[in-house]
Amino acid sequence: MTDPTCKACQGIWPQADHFITDLGLSQAYLHEDQFFKGWTVVVFRRHATELFQLAPTERMQLMEEVTLVAKTLAQVFDARKINYELLGNQLPHIHWHLIPRLATDPAPLEPVWRVQHEPIQPPAHELQASIERIKDAMAKLR
């Protein structure tokens, strides 16, 4: 089930070259802004806007998928904390932002949306290196 007006359903967002892996009900991508290194989005594969629209079994599986990505990111980026954000105000299609917060974080008490910064879009080889590190670590946790 797709929504013709939805950027996630139409494959416009996230960017294909940021793809990390298929998780089952969802797919993981590196976020386009890597100011917070390892910032990842986990996008539900079909169109839904609210957790309460999912069947209980889907919701449980999605949480397992989100948890696997979070655990992987914590390990790969040596995070002090993972932030989990499910907002959908700008793009109402279920997608989790999983954001590793590192020891070097400029504002550890703030949600990332309140930390003013210039977005960092790493060159393709750096992006691929991060994706490979995440995939390798996830394969060992799966």
Q: Give the interface with Zn ion as residue ranges (CB under 5 A).
A: 3, 6, 8-9, 47, 93
* 8 vs 131, beta carbon nearer Zn ion: 8
Task: Return the residue nearest Zn ion (CB atom).
Answer: 6
Residue 47 has phi, psi (to 5 degrees) of: -75, 120
**Least distance (Å) between residue 111 CB and Zn ion:** 24
* 47 vs 71, beta carbon nearer Zn ion: 47
* 6 vs 127, beta carbon nearer Zn ion: 6
The CA-based diameter of the chain, rounded to the nearest angstrom, is 41
Cα separation, 60 vs 133, whole angstroms = 26
**Least distance (Å) between residue 6 CB and Zn ion:** 3
**Least distance (Å) between residue 9 CB and Zn ion:** 3
